[in-house]
Amino acid sequence: MQYIIPKIKGKVMVKQIVRRIFYFLFLIIFVSCNISDKNNSSEEIMIFHAGSLSVPFKEIAEEFEKENPGVNVVLEAAGSRTCARKITDLNRECDVMASADYKVIDNLLIPEYADWNIKFASNEMVIVYHNKSRINAKINKDNWYEILMNENVAFGRSDPNSDPCGYRAVLVSKLAEKYYKQTGLAEKLLQKDVNYIRPKEVDLIGLLETNVIDYIFLYRSVAEQHGLKYIILPDSINLNNPKLAGLYATVTVDITGKKPGEIITKKGEPIVYGVTIPKNAPNKEIAIKFVGFLLTCEKGMAIMEKNGQQSLVPSPAKTYNKIPKELKQYVLER
């Protein structure tokens, strides 16, 4: 018995050691799998974009993710100039920047923060309202400015220093003064209802829907996406007709520049959207794929057109030589 007991204990100890070895191996495998899963988890790309692109970009992002499993597209909307300042002033990283005015990229990002710029879509300015807007039964393309000046009516516009739609509202007002031959009209419009100026144009929709304001200077595409009524303005005013670029350029607006205290005098011109990939983009390879998807006529541009924005692809690019080779098919060399 004295011999048998130690032998049994020895077997028990061997079993315990074996179990511990198996348990240790299991932990190693489990941890390795977790690390592997993390390494193979979805890759994330950050898109800074104009507020007026919110609806189409949401759909484009969803379709892009379907085509590229494992990629997570994060969308962050703001006024286009605010988007640019997130990069230049706040040192925020993003993979793609899409602006409602291609000149925002040219003036604020190139050459320090981006190398190139691709024009991809157009739009037009309209006067937006809904069923409960005051005096909406009488408003039309000939008297809209009179309705907006009525003391019982309130209208909104976005901030010119944050959002292209904001400075385009100023340009439209000045063009309207010329077109309708109403001396002082622009100044009167721009001094009225300044309490309803917001950082980006889509911020104004909530004010309209809650009857705080009656009308908005807004893009036609945004009005259509949200099922809102709108007045189509004459081409001489709406910033949509490339043939009238010379006329649009006869009016200007002053906005803030790159540096504190710096002022940029911006001339009127047809509405053109632009897209770029910043120099410090964390995921450039996927960013190039996303921009390619956006600019493909049967993919991203089909979604853009469905949401009320006409494609400009392919478009001339003065930064052609710096555009990634994968994206050159979507531009024309100037």
pLDDT of residue 13: 53
Q: Is residue 327 part of a domain?
A: yes
Arithmetic mean of pLDDT, 45-74: 97
State the CATH number of the domain containing residue 80: 3.40.190.10
pLDDT of residue 17: 53
SS3 116: coil
Residues 69 and 162 in one domain: no
Residues 91 and 168 in one domain: no
Q: Distance of CA 218 to CAs 69, 74, 223, 314, Å? A: 36, 25, 7, 26
In percent, how much of the chain has pLDDT > 70? 87
Residues 154 and 240 in one domain: yes
Q: Could you tell me the residue range of the domain that residue 178 belongs to?
A: 125-256
Q: Is residue 233 part of a domain?
A: yes
pLDDT of residue 21: 55
In whole angstroms, give the CA distance from residue 81 to residue 108.
8
Q: Of 256, 286, 309, at which residue does a domain stop?
A: 256
Report whether 319 contacts 110 (CB < 8 A).
yes
pLDDT of residue 258: 83
Residues 129 and 155 in one domain: yes
User: What contacts 48, CB < 8 A, 6 or more positions away?
Assistant: 76, 78, 83, 86, 87, 92, 94, 96, 97, 98
In whole angstroms, give the CA distance from residue 319 to residue 190.
36
The residue with greater pLDDT, 39 or 315, is 315
- What is the tens place of the pLDDT at every residue in 3-35? 444 444 555 455 555 455 555 554 444 444 444
pLDDT of residue 227: 95
User: What contacts 266, CB < 8 A, 6 or more positions away?
Assistant: 103, 167, 252, 253, 254, 255
- What is the tens place of the pLDDT at every residue in 57-66? 999 999 999 9
Report whether 176 contacts 182 (CB < 8 A).
yes
Residues 145 and 204 in one domain: yes
Residues 179 and 211 in one domain: yes
Q: Is the pLDDT of residue 37 over 90?
A: no
Residues 139 and 230 in one domain: yes
In whole angstroms, give the CA distance from residue 243 to residue 122.
14
CA angle in degrees (0–180, nearest 5) for 271-223-272: 10
Q: What are residue 298's phi and psi, to 5 degrees?
A: -90, 0
SS3 222: helix
Task: Tell me the HSE value of 219 on the side-chain side, using a 13 A CA sphere.
Answer: 33
- What is the tens place of the pLDDT at every residue in 194-232? 999 999 888 999 999 999 999 999 999 999 999 999 999
pLDDT of residue 39: 41
Report whether 204 contacts 193 (CB < 8 A).
no
Q: Is the pLDDT of residue 175 over 70?
A: yes
Provide the sign of the torsion angle of the four alpha carbons 51, 56, 62, 65, taken in this order.
Answer: negative
Residues 278 and 178 in one domain: no
Q: Is residue 39 part of a domain?
A: no
Average pLDDT of the chain is 91
19-28, 34-43, 94-103: which has the highest mean pLDDT?
Answer: 94-103
How is residue 75 written in tokens?
């969308």
Arithmetic mean of pLDDT, 43-52: 97
Residues 118 and 129 in one domain: no
Amino acid identity of residue 131, one-letter, is N
pLDDT of residue 10: 55
pLDDT of residue 261: 87
Q: Is the pLDDT of residue 326 over 60?
A: yes
Arithmetic mean of pLDDT, 156-173: 97
Other beta carbons within 10 angstroms of residue 112's beta carbon come to: 12
Arithmetic mean of pLDDT, 127-135: 97
In which band, very low, low, confident or very high, does the pLDDT at 260 lie, cut at 50, 70 and 90? Answer: confident
Residues 116 and 134 in one domain: no
DSSP 195: G
Number of domains in the chain: 2
Residues 104 and 132 in one domain: no
pLDDT of residue 334: 79
Burial of residue 66, with CB atoms counted within 10 A of its CB: 0-12 exposed, 13-18 middle, 19 or more buried? exposed
How is residue 213 written in tokens?
């304001």
> DSSP for 244-299?
GHHHHTT-EEEEE-SSTT-EEEEEP---EEEEE--TT-TTHHHHHHHHHHHH-TTT
Q: Of 223, 256, 289, at which residue does a domain stop?
A: 256
